[in-house]
Structures are given as C-alpha cells and as structure tokens.
Amino acid sequence: MAMAMVRSGLLRTALRGGSKTSPKRGFASSAHHDDAYETAKWEKITYLGIASCTALAVYVLSKGHAHHEEPPAYPYLHIRNKEFPWGPDGLFEVKHH
Amino acid sequence: MIESQRHSYHLVDPSPWPISGSLGALATTVGGVMYMHSFQGGATLLSLGLIFILYTMFVWWRDVLRESTLEGHHTKVVQLGLRYGFILFIVSEVMFFFAFFWAFFHSSLAPTVEIGGIWPPKGIWVLDPWEIPFLNTPILLSSGAAVTWAHHAILAGKEKRAVYALVATVLLALVFTGFQGMEYYQAPSTISDSIYGSTFFLATGFHGFHVIIGTLFLIICGIRQYLGHLTKEHHVGFEAAAWYWHFVDVVRLFPFVSIYWWGGI
C-alpha cells in the first residue's frame, strides 16, 4: 500500500509541501487565486460548523442528563487493590464510605 | 563554517537536551512508580521529572525554531526530512491507538461470563452517545475545518486571516476539552469499574490527551504565525500541526462509532 501511495504521487506531493509543486497547476497567479478562494470557502465552512455546533450544544445541554441508581456491588465494579496516594476516593467517583 | 558548506543538509550542533530529556524521563518513571505505591518522596521526584521533561521540550524546540528562522538551516531537503519524520511519528501514533481498539474489541465482541456475558457489563451504566459524545464530534470536525482555513490563508499570504483561523481552531479545541471534562465528571462509571471502564477511559482518555497536545501545537503555530515565522513557501511546523490535528480528528470518529455508540447501546 505504501508503494502504491508513492507511485500515485500523493505522498510525494504532501512531502514536498502540498499542491503548489503539483504538475497540474496553472499559472502562478491562478494558483494564488485558488488559495484565496479556498480560504474564503473554508472560512464559511468553519462558521457553518460553529453555528450548527452551538445549536446542537443548546439542545443537548437543555435536555439534562440521566441519573442512575447504584448497581449491586458486583466484584468487577469499583475495583480497589490498594489505596490511592491521595486517599480512598477515585478522582471522578461518588464517595463509597 | 557556513561558507565552507557545500551541501544542503543540516548537520546539527552538539546539544545537552537529549540527555536532559532522558534524565527527566527516568525521574518521571521512578517517581511515578514511587508515587503510585505511596513511597515517601515519590510525588516530589515525579514533579521534578515532569518539570525537567517540560523544560527540555521548551528549550529543545526553541533551538529548532532558531535553527529554522535565524540560522536558516531548514533548506528544502531538510524540510523533506522533517516531513518524513513527522509522517512516521503519526504512523506510530496510529499503531498506539490500534492497540487500545484491539483491547476494546477483544473484550466487547465476546464478553466473558465474569462480567455477565454481555456488553456493556451487567451493572454498568453508560453515557448516552447522542448527548455530549455526539456534540463533541462535530466540534472537533469544525476545528479541523478551521485549521484547513488557516492552511489556505497561509498559502494565499493572508497573514491576519491565518491568525484568526488558528484562534478559531484553538477555541473549538478548548470547547471540546471542556465538554470532555464535563463528560468525565458526570460519567456513571470510572476506570476502576470492570473491563468496560478500563477500555473506555484508556481509549477516550488518550484521545483527549492527544487533543490537548494538538491544541498546544496549534497555539505555538498561532503565535509563530503572529510573529511572522510562517511564510507561503516555508511553514513545516504548521503543516505538521495540521496533519496531527487531522489525525486526532479522524481518531475521534472511531471511539464515537465503536466505543460510545456500538459499545454503549
């Protein structure tokens, strides 16, 4: 697979610093224009992403989260072989004593 | 010295940082074991080791930046070597995460009788994948879009836009880490709750740790972009950060689909 990647020139292009050395590029000025166009496009995509994430965050956080009752004390839960250096409780745990 | 050089390779000067980093790693390992077994002085040695490692990272990479900017040692062929090196590093990271997924699938595809023969194990409450886990995935993907925006801005020579784009990338990364912290805080299980907790927190925790590393890497790129270190033709540090960020982004999809979603329903 690595050889196929080298032959396809994909890896070689990436190693040489992106598409600017690609044989398919047009004039120097048109390559510059492409980057300006791509900059504007990805800026819009980022804003779209931020807007949808904000909407999703409001929805998810407004729902609240479920609270569960304590499960039976199965031997594979709350495993303790020795005390933690800082004391008996785990870092993100409900206290058990 | 430079005048007599008839090749474009960078022959590095002797440096104290490899040995200082090694000593820091030794102190961290021994201190870490001592701390976890409640030996006296363990916490001190561990902190000392970590401070030593952080100091070494700072001064070593400061030297690399000086070699690149002031001394101009990063010729085209040196840049090629740096890219090869970074790609190999990311390949090793892929293998690192592969191991955690191996552990997860090994334990979840054929759950043993000791955990009730089911996955998630009997008595384990899991997070709803469609709450914070689902929210965090597009947040990280948007951050990936923002770093692509920064990349094109650098290539187009739009220096200010590139700084703004990197600020957006880093802010989204910090929001991701904040939500991940909230999720851990509210999680109904911990790393000490069965093989589920072990595999879940190992994979998602190491991913979160990589997000933090990538965030620091991007912050450095943002500062360097602001200082004018990165040009249209020469911005290997940024490229490495962007590759790393895309890697962290793609890795996120695997825990989401397999661990949170498939393994949590």
Q: What DSSP string describes B91-146?
A: HHHHHHHHHHHHHHHHHHHS--GGGTSSSSPTT-----TTTHHHHHHHHHHHHHHH
Amino acid occupying residue A81: N
Q: Which of A39, A80, A82 sits opposite B152 (nearest CB)?
A: A39
**Residues of chain A positioned with their CB less than 8 A from the CB of B186:** 65
Place of tokens 């991007």: B218
Beta-carbon contacts of residue B102 (< 8 Å; ≥ 6 apart): none
The alpha carbon of residue A6 is apart from the nearest alpha carbon of chain B, in Å, by 12
What is residue B137's predicted lDDT score, i.e. its pLDDT? 95
Percent of chain B at pLDDT > 70 equals: 99
Percent of chain B at pLDDT > 90 equals: 93
- Region A33-51 average pLDDT: 94
What is residue B226's predicted lDDT score, i.e. its pLDDT? 97
What is residue A10's predicted lDDT score, i.e. its pLDDT? 64
Q: What is the pLDDT of residues A54-97, one digit of tens each?
A: 999 999 999 877 788 888 889 999 888 888 888 777 776 665 54
The alpha carbon of residue B250 is apart from the nearest alpha carbon of chain A, in Å, by 16
Amino acid occupying residue A91: L
Mutate to test the interface with A, among B131, B163, B182, B243 (most CBs of A within 10 A): B131
Q: Which of A57, A76, A85 sits opposite B38 (nearest CB)?
A: A85
- Region B45-73 average pLDDT: 97
Q: What is the pLDDT of residues B94-113, one digit of tens each?
A: 999 999 999 999 999 999 99
Name A84's bridge partners.
A87
What is residue A70's predicted lDDT score, i.e. its pLDDT? 85
Question: Residue A28: pLDDT band by 50, 70, 90 thresholds?
Answer: low
Number of C-beta neighbours around residue A44 at 10 A: 12
- Region B236-262 average pLDDT: 96
Whether B142 and A76 lie within 8 Å, measured CB to CB: no
Q: Which of A46, A66, A93 sits opposite B145 (nearest CB)?
A: A46
What is residue B264's predicted lDDT score, i.e. its pLDDT? 86
Whether A65 and B128 lie within 8 Å, measured CB to CB: yes
Token pair of B230, please? 């990165």
Q: What is the pLDDT of residues B173-209, one digit of tens each?
A: 999 999 999 999 888 888 889 999 999 999 999 999 9
Average pLDDT value over all residues in chain B: 95
Whether B36 and A85 lie within 8 Å, measured CB to CB: yes
- Region B36-64 average pLDDT: 96
The alpha carbon of residue B45 is apart from the nearest alpha carbon of chain A, in Å, by 14
ipTM greater than 0.95, yes or no? no
Task: Find out whether B102 and B94 touch, Cβ atoms under 8 Å.
Answer: no
What is residue A17's predicted lDDT score, i.e. its pLDDT? 64
Give the rounded distance of the alpha carbon of B132 from its chain centre: 21
